[in-house]
Structure 1
């Protein structure tokens, strides 16, 4: 009986390690995704690459290299165009289509978002994951 409990505990520990590699808990900072998500909202994110991102999905990105230390290390935005898609209006880039290995992201609050309107195409290497679900606010 003790061996069965030990095996179950080892299996549960292994499952937790796998989940930690695949899932990430992110807390929204700032106003860029209002009214959809507000500062303090907690999101469960599935780690993925650009191949796992769908148009319209909420994505988590690594902050760009050289970002001020006061900026959050992760950014929450909405993927609006993927490789091969036409570039939406208002994005100051020379190409008419999103190139391979890039995407276009926008914050839901255009007035308060540092996104593709100012940064242009986002490299695929910045993609950390996609939103799975929002956690209920603490009671």
Structure 2
């Protein structure tokens, strides 16, 4: 009769058991490292501090922000972005970051409003289904404006157009101040959803001449 392996006779785990434990440890370490790298360099959580983006985002909503935008992934019109205060947007004690929607990219001409109350970008009127207007008004902004966005900057506006201090009051935002693009609401659970940009509308906007 053949003898039993020494590991079996002593009651100690065999090589396969040690390999399993080693592989499990490696997987755990790699997962923790990947999570750290993702949280540090790729994705950031952000809490909504005001009602300027209602109804899209409510006060207290938590969103995840893709920090590859705009350094790796380009900005697009309609993106909801988090950006650092360029200076003078926030009062002391209100934090450092804001969240708004990208309306105009560098070189774009943004104007408001046409006969239907819509804003136009490069002469193309955009229907914005997410905008909150004033009661009894179809205009997406109270004031008329016509602005050409300088190179290296973007024009941003809140979805709650009659209760948002944005580029209309403070001017354009340097693209270098953009932290990233918000892409999903994670909290509260009842609000979970992927953030859209009304792509069909914005993709129809022509490039600036």
What's the TM-score, normalizing by structure 2?
0.59
- Alpha carbons of structure 1 residues 91 and 44: separation in structure 2 relative to 1, 3 Å: farther
Of the two, which has the highest radius of gyration? 2
* 8 Å contact kept, 1:62–1:128: yes
Unaligned 5+ segments in structure 2 are 1-19, 113-142, 191-209
Unaligned 5+ segments in structure 1 are none
Q: Which has the higher contact order (CA 8 A, sep 6+)?
A: 1
Match of 2:163 in 1: 112
Name the Cα RMSD after superposition.
2.1
Q: Classify the secondary structure of the residue corresponding to 1:88.
A: strand
Aligned residues: 137
Q: After superposition, where does 1:31-110 map in structure 2 within 5 Å?
A: 31-47=51-67, 48-49=69-70, 52-66=74-88, 67-89=90-112, 96-110=147-161
In the TM superposition, residue 61 of structure 1 has moved relative to its aligned partner by: 1.0
Runs of 4+ in 1 over 6 A off after TM superposition: none
Q: What CA distance in whole angstroms lies between the structure 2 residues aligned with 1:61 and 1:73?
A: 8
In the TM superposition, residue 70 of structure 1 has moved relative to its aligned partner by: 2.5
* 8 Å contact kept, 1:91–1:116: no
Bigger shift: residues 63-72 or 51-60? 63-72
In the TM superposition, residue 68 of structure 1 has moved relative to its aligned partner by: 2.4
